[in-house]
Amino acid sequence: MYSDVEIKLKKGNKILFSRDSRCLQELIDLIQVQSHRALIMWALDCAKRPLEQFEAKYPHERRPRICLDLAEEWAREN
């Protein structure tokens, strides 16, 4: 583990990373060379897991699923 993250973890911080965190530099570099569309698709894909958990808890609440589906449709068209 990176020392900056370990320090924050030991202090009980809930936010372990900042833009300057060494462990994020590789990811930041990768994000900077991606297209806007690729980043949107990645974010939408990341949203699917918590959405499944949400739907398990609130099976009749369809608005988040509709929003995700519409955003994904928009991203694929543009």
Give the count of beta carbons closer than 10 Å to the beta carbon of residue 44: 17
pTM of the predicted protein model:
0.63
Would you list the domain boundaries of the chain? Answer: 1-33, 35-78
pLDDT digits (tens, 9 = 90+) for 22-61: 878 888 899 999 998 889 999 999 999 899 999 999 999 9
Helices (H), 19-62: 25-32, 36-57
More confident residue, 17 or 40: 40
pLDDT at 63: 97
Tokens at residue 38, please?
Answer: 């690729």
How would residue 7 be classed by pLDDT, with cut points 50, 70 and 90?
A: confident
CA distance 60 to 45: 22
